[in-house]
Amino acid sequence: MRTNQPQTIYLSEYKVPAYLVDQVDLRFELFEDGARVHSTLTVRRNPDSAESAAPLFLHGDSLQLESVSLNGSPLGTGEFEDRGDALVVPSVPEEFELQVVTWIEPQNNTRLEGLYKSSGMFCTQCEAEGFRCITFYPDRPDVMACFRTRIEADKSAYPVLLSNGNPVDNGELENGRHFVTWEDPFPKPAYLFALVAGDLVEKKDTFTTCSGRNIDLRMYVEPRNAKKCDFAMDALKRSMRWDEDVYGREYDLDIFMIVAVDDFNMGAMENKGLNIFNSSCVLASQETATDAAFQRIEAIVAHEYFHNWSGNRVTCRDWFQLSLKEGFTVFRDSQFSADMGSPTVKRIEDATLLRTAQFAEDAGPMAHPVRPASYMEISNFYTLTIYEKGAEVVRMIHNLLGDEMFRKGSDLYFQRHDGQAVTTDDFVRAMEDASGRDLGQFRLWYEQAGTPVVSVSDEYDESSGIYRLTVRQSIPDTPGQTGKKPQHIPFALGLLGADGQPLPLKLSGESGEAPLERVLELSQEEHCFEFEGLSERPVPSLLRDFSAPVRVHYPWTREQLLFLMSHDPDGFNRWDAGQRLAVDVIQSLVGAPESAGVEPRLVDAYRSLLQDSELDQALMAKMLQLPSEAYLIELAEQADVAAIHQARENVLGYLAEGLRDELMACYRGNAGQGDYQLTPEAIARRSLRNTALGWLLHIGDQEALALAKEQFRGADNMTDRLGALRALVNSDFAEDRTQALEAFYKRFSDDPQVVELWFSVQASSDRAGQLPQIRQLLDHPAFDWKNPNKVRSVVGAFAAQNLAAFHNPDGSGYEFLAEQVCRLDDSNPQIAARLVAPLTRWRKFAPGYSKQMKSALERIRDKAELSRDVYEVVHKSLAD
């Protein structure tokens, strides 16, 4: 914990390391009261560094130094300086061996960075700067070394000892102890180091690579989780095959291991050969995991596996380049998920996340470019901008180059930079060199923060048959960045005739056959496109498949939206038209008198949807979801949360009343068909059915209540059981809600992942999750402040998903959050800083909310001993 103002780190001040490490030899002695870490570094001066007399600088954090020696001779006082956050040796030769012994206390490590204990086992998390909590080291990603790791521990308590690479030695020691030695032949930055020691069961499988090598696949989990590994193991094999087929990337070690731990700050981590997962992101069974959880697990397993190339073999030069590995890897995992399921549905999910949460980040006080120029605490920059917008930027390169050239570019990138630590610019250059395309202006996507706004206006001239589209782009100011340059935006569109048929897009002066869809490349502030040969005024279908992460403004009429909703051949835009229509209807009711009527054509549109037997069920399920409150708030100027909540509830109620019979038919028509299956069709059926049930319970339908209780009792899978529970919890049937919650807890109280679901269903419900009930959840015996998943499932869910309760006009929700942030900051600053996010957008809200959000932030600011993590978020949020 720090009290001084933390320093800002700038990209412009990047310097190559003065010293390189070729080899790291580690020996861990693990005990119950601490761990001794012996480290031997083989170091040499970096020939590329200009500083020929630089001192040796090693990062450290919360370490007790026991000894330092250089080439075998212990260093005395005066020959080194232990600065607490660093070990400095002022004078060192050109090449040398440095031995450092440190003592650490994993059992007391509540930050969950570095080496710590989780339900009795030792595990590590080193990204971004956790390795310095284990031993003194040049903890920066451009220092890459080969690691050899010997782990010693009590054999009965810790029979399994794991680290990166291949096992090369093991044996017995005195006092019932044993050791295993691991060697990782690939040079890597310290953030990819991992160690696990525990009493774990091993799940075995194998994979034969494209070149015929046999890889041992292993999962290590606590014995109670032995039955929850199959899905992740299969997902791993699918990922390995896919990366060979689509990117030509083969796995490189002889063994690949996955470990599940309960206490983990993030989703998972791509440590070389030893991926570590948050239990909730890898363990699953039909009875305990929802369809959404299965899909998330498949995506995360793939994501971590794909990092083996995009992140590990080619890594980041510095943390400003984080999106180099994360944006590319998210793009790769989203391509994979699209290939495994429905591409349109995956695109809708990605665009929803981006438009709801990343656009909000980009419009808030923490806005930053995909390649930031500065930071205080790097953990705060694992953001939706780095991940999701970064992935969109890679996707645009993919779409501009085409599949084949993109693959050529990625091959060149991996070949050119294998074993190196590089920059986003190196990535773009490989794409340019392979394809011959100039991405000069495109690079602005990495440098400029803020979501571009693309405003479209049109006119049609009947006499000449010309349709003129005027397209303007502008990029809003963000903290520290004003007066931005226009960006290179691929803008996909089509034009529809009144009969719903696509019209040819023939630009003035063009000859030859005109395409039915095209991608306009915007590069200037304003463009005017003239399409000729049109015998009627077309309806434009804009930004098809969400071809760029921008906001599109166009004065759609409700007729046009209804038309696109049923006729657009682009599935994404059909969905989008429905969303825009629903947004328009809800917005027109915000703050309106109760007597104001809901647009009746919306009911008709949803009725046709429900009756459309041609429509892909998965797309239908998505189209039936109303825009979320969070999205409606993001779209508002000065959000009045209570009014938005009320308007949305009214529309939902109106739709459910008007469609009561159709919803009932939808529920009955999508009953389960035999055994539980995880096919896209079966998932869509469950989703439709549970949506229908939720809507019917929302209006207090008695018949639906009986169906919900029946489904809750009889379900053979968690998707249906939780679907029924959620519908009951969000209904006004208070007694049934309480009974179901009790029965659910009783049944699953010994399964932490399900208990987390149980917490979050309550915390995110405006019926079951008002503040007094949230406080009760915090006092529940299953709640645990030391477990990030529990904190997220109560406090995080309340602030992010229960918006009406969190934004209680009396300010109690904000005060509550401030209180929990302060409490957590002492034990786990990373989680505390993430919890602050909902308060940071205070400027977005109507004055009554805004003022109280700001004072909650000020209360956090005034806490004594604020961590650097929370300091940065709070101070940036309050700045002018």
Q: State the angle between helix axes of 571-589 and 558-567 in degrees (0 to 180), rounded to the nearest 10.
A: 150
Closest approach of Cβ 283 to ligand 7MF, in Å?
15
From 241-249, 300-308, 431-439, 723-731, span contacting ligand 7MF (CB under 6 A): 300-308
From 241-249, 266-274, 512-520, 778-786, span contacting ligand 7MF (CB under 6 A): 266-274
Q: Is the dihedral angle over the CA atoms 197, 202, 208, 210 positive or is it negative?
A: negative
Name residues contacting ligand 7MF, limited to 823-862 (CB under 6 A): none
Interface with Zn ion (CB under 5 A), residue total: 2
Task: Give CA–CA dist 590/299, Å, rounded.
Answer: 37
User: Which one, 339 or 510, has the nearer CB to ligand 7MF?
Assistant: 339
DSSP 664-713: HHHHHHT---SS---SHHHHHHHHHHHHHHHHHHHTT-HHHHHHHHHHHH
Of 129, 152, 326, 720, the one binding ligand 7MF (CB under 6 A) is 326
User: Which one, 197 or 300, has the nearer CB to ligand 7MF?
Assistant: 300
188: partner contacted, choices Zn ion, ligand 7MF, none (Cβ within 5-8 A by kind): none
Name residues contacting Zn ion, limited to 313-342 (CB under 5 A): 326, 329
DSSP 576-589: HHHHHHHHHHHHHH
337: partner contacted, choices Zn ion, ligand 7MF, none (Cβ within 5-8 A by kind): none
Name residues contacting Zn ion, limited to 740-759 (CB under 5 A): none
The 337-376 contact track toward ligand 7MF, x by CB under 6 A, reads: ----------------------------------------
How far CA 256 is from CA of 110, 144, 190, in Å, comes to: 28, 21, 19
Task: Give CA–CA dist 807/814, Å, rounded.
Answer: 7
Under rule CB under 6 A, residue 127 binds ligand 7MF: yes
Active site residue 304: yes
How far CA 865 is from CA of 296, 829, 860, in Å, comes to: 37, 11, 10
469: partner contacted, choices Zn ion, ligand 7MF, none (Cβ within 5-8 A by kind): none
User: Which one, 325 or 580, has the nearer CB to Zn ion?
Assistant: 325
128 close to 104: Cβ distance less than 8 angstroms: no
Closest approach of Cβ 188 to Zn ion, in Å?
15
Closest approach of Cβ 630 to ligand 7MF, in Å?
19
Closest approach of Cβ 325 to Zn ion, in Å?
6
**Identity of the residue numbered 711:** Q
User: Which one, 127 or 568, has the nearer CB to ligand 7MF?
Assistant: 127
Closest approach of Cβ 345 to Zn ion, in Å?
22
Closest approach of Cβ 228 to Zn ion, in Å?
23
| Coil, strand or helix at 863 | coil
Phi-psi region of 419 (alpha: psi -120 to 50; beta: other; left: phi over 0): left
**Identity of the residue numbered 76:** G
Q: Which of 229, 226, 256 is nearest to 240 (CA)?
A: 256
User: Which one, 371 or 488, has the nearer CB to ligand 7MF?
Assistant: 371
Closest approach of Cβ 207 to ligand 7MF, in Å?
20
751: partner contacted, choices ligand 7MF, Zn ion, none (Cβ within 5-8 A by kind): none
**Identity of the residue numbered 82:** D
User: Which one, 139 or 326, has the nearer CB to Zn ion?
Assistant: 326
Residue 158: strand pairing partners: none
**DSSP 8-state symbol, 281:** G
Name residues contacting ligand 7MF, limited to 791-810 (CB under 6 A): none
Closest approach of Cβ 825 to ligand 7MF, in Å?
18
Q: Which of 510, 648, 531 is nearest to 590 (CA)?
A: 648
Of 111, 303, 580, 648, the one binding ligand 7MF (CB under 6 A) is 303
| Coil, strand or helix at 870 | helix
Count how many Cα atoms sit within 13 Å of the Cα of residue 12 in the half-sphere of its side chain: 4
The 174-203 contact track toward ligand 7MF, x by CB under 6 A, reads: ------------------------------
Q: How is residue 6 written in tokens?
A: 């933390």
Q: How many residues does the chain have?
A: 880
Under rule CB under 6 A, residue 267 binds ligand 7MF: yes
From 4-12, 59-67, 264-272, 436-444, span contacting ligand 7MF (CB under 6 A): 264-272
Q: Which of 723, 649, 718 is nearest to 693 (CA)?
A: 723
Residue 764: strand pairing partners: none
Radius of gyration of the chain (CA): 28
Closest approach of Cβ 545 to Zn ion, in Å?
24
724 close to 686: Cβ distance less than 8 angstroms: no
Of 222, 270, 432, 701, the one binding ligand 7MF (CB under 6 A) is 270
Q: Is the dihedral angle over the CA atoms 725, 616, 612, 601 positive or is it negative?
A: positive
Phi-psi region of 119 (alpha: psi -120 to 50; beta: other; left: phi over 0): left
Closest approach of Cβ 111 to ligand 7MF, in Å?
14
User: Which one, 43 or 301, has the nearer CB to Zn ion?
Assistant: 301
**Which one of the listed residues 304, 388, 392, 756 is annotated catalytic?**
304
639: partner contacted, choices ligand 7MF, Zn ion, none (Cβ within 5-8 A by kind): none
User: Which one, 184 or 326, has the nearer CB to ligand 7MF?
Assistant: 326
231 close to 297: Cβ distance less than 8 angstroms: yes
Name residues contacting ligand 7MF, limited to 377-396 (CB under 6 A): 382, 387
Task: Give CA–CA dist 672/282, Å, rounded.
Answer: 25
Binding site for ligand 7MF (CB under 6 A): 127, 266-270, 300, 303-304, 307, 326, 330, 382, 387
What residue ranges bind Zn ion (CB under 5 A)? 326, 329
Active-site residue list = 304
